[in-house]
Structure 1
Amino acid sequence: MKAWLPLTLGLLAMVLGALWTVQGLGYVEGSLMTDQRIWVLIGPALVLIGLGTLWLGLRSRRRI
């Protein structure tokens, strides 16, 4: 049961990171983050953190 939290947080981080990246690139409009290059850097970093969290969650599920 403990593995669900890292899996959920990892997936959420990946989705948010991808969204922030495309907003920073200007593909999604209607936000203060649109065309702000800092989000092009923060987004992929969050995706990598999400991937790491997913990996840890999957490892802990296999041990159970």
Structure 2
Amino acid sequence: MKKVVLIALGVLLSVAGAIWTLQGLGYLEGSSMTGSSFWAIVGPIVAAMGVSLLYVTIRGPKQR
């Protein structure tokens, strides 16, 4: 159950980060975030956190 929650959180962070990046760069319009350099910087950071969470969760603990 914990693994499913972490995977869902990783996907959510990745998607949110991608959307924020696209809005910050001006590719997605219709928001106060459009064209804001703040979101163009924060978006990739959040997306990278989501991808990292997915990687660690799916890979699992190292076997020694």
Category of TM-score, reference length = shorter chain: 0.7 to 0.9
Aligned to 2:22: 22
Alpha-carbon distance in 2 for matches of 1:51, 1:28: 22
Give the superposed CA RMSD. 1.6
Paired AA for residue 48 in structure 1: A
How far the C-alpha of 1:60 sits from its partner, in A, is 3.4
* C-alpha contact (below 8 Å) 1:17/1:42 kept by paired residues: yes
Which sections of structure 1, spanning at least 5 residues, go unmatched? none
TM-score, length of structure 2 as denominator length: 0.87
Paired AA for residue 43 in structure 2: G
Aligned residues: 62
Identity %: 42
Per-residue CA distance 1:5-48 (angstroms, 9 max, x = gap): 11000000000000000000111111000000111100000011
The list of structure 1 runs, each at least 4 consecutive aligned residues, that deviate by more than 3 angstroms after superposition, is none
Aligned to 2:42: 42
Paired AA for residue 55 in structure 2: W
Aligned to 1:32: 32
Aligned to 2:51: 51
